[in-house]
């Protein structure tokens, strides 16, 4: 985004990660504003637009990318605290940020909302049932928002990444049976390539943006043969669930 001339306010619960991003982008305070933030704190989220406007003067788009996965266990073994935490970050955080910024986006001549769902938002993954439910909620929320905003200047895209090489496992504070997600046999797309696809979708006002050949293939398979697709991914993920 910064390479394309944008000014970016980055939110992260980990300040060091923000500073690392700033360094990678060779950015200074004129182009990148690092904000250490917990998006589950609704009162603080509602105060965010004022902080960004004070620094940059305007807001033209948001990308709701914050997300965590759940421990790789069955629903029967997942405590309610973990269920609520995943929903608060992945769904309610997305809704809160969207609602906080939407009035300002509607005042712009052109604006965009990008919400990151997941391949798990349309494909049931055993051991990630609550994560999938949260991402499915993001999908439907985004599609409803798209319909509501169709006659306005605000565009909405919902993104479905497949396996991406990020540190989502470590950032979620969990461990994976067998050590890595690669034990499922999936090849992860680089984060850089994923970002390129997402930004291209944003620039082209795509409604659905599928990131990775796995996401595109499983979307097709889920629509053509949903039960087969469910059993296919169950076998793929069996080693991770234990």
Angstrom distance (rounded) from CA 7 to CA 74: 42
Cβ(134)–Cβ(90) below 8 Å:
yes
131 assigned to active site? yes
Sequence-distant (6+) residues with CB within 8 A of 240 are: 72, 127, 176, 177, 178, 181, 183, 184
**Choosing from 131, 141, 146, 210, which is the catalytic residue?**
131
Cβ-Cβ contacts under 8 Å for 135 (sequence gap 6 or more): 67, 90, 117, 118, 120, 121
CB–CB of 59/104 below 8 Å? yes
Decide: 201 and 193 in contact? Cβ < 8 Å.
no
Task: Tell me the C-alpha distance between 85 and 81, whole Å.
Answer: 6
**Calpha distance 233→119 (Å, rounded):** 11
* Positions marked catalytic: 131
């Amino acid at each position: 985004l910064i390479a394309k001339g944008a000014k970016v306010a980055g939110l992260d619960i980990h300040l060091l990660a923000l500073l690392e991003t700033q360094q990678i982008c060779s950015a200074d305070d004129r182009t990148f504003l690092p904000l250490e933030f917990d998006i589950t704190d609704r009162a603080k989220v509602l105060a965010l637009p004022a902080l960004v406007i004070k620094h940059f003067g305007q807001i033209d788009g948001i990308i709701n990318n914050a997300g965590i996965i759940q421990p790789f266990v069955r629903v029967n073994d997942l405590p309610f605290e973990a269920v609520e935490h995943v929903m608060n970050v992945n769904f309610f955080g997305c809704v809160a940020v969207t609602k906080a910024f939407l009035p300002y986006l509607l005042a712009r001549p052109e604006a965009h909302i990008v919400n990151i769902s997941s391949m798990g938002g349309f494909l049931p993954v055993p051991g990630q049932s609550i994560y999938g439910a949260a991402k499915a909620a993001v999908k439907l929320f985004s599609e409803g928002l798209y319909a509501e905003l169709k006659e306005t200047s605000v565009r909405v895209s919902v993104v479905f990444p497949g396996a991406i090489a990020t540190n989502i496992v470590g950032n979620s504070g969990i461990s994976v049976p067998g050590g890595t997600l690669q034990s499922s046999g999936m090849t992860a797309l680089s984060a850089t390539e994923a970002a390129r696809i997402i930004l291209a979708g944003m620039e082209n006002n795509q409604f659905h943006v599928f990131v990775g050949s796995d996401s595109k293939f499983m979307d097709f398979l889920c629509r053509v043969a949903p039960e087969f697709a469910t059993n296919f991914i169950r076998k793929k993920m069996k080693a991770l669930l234990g």
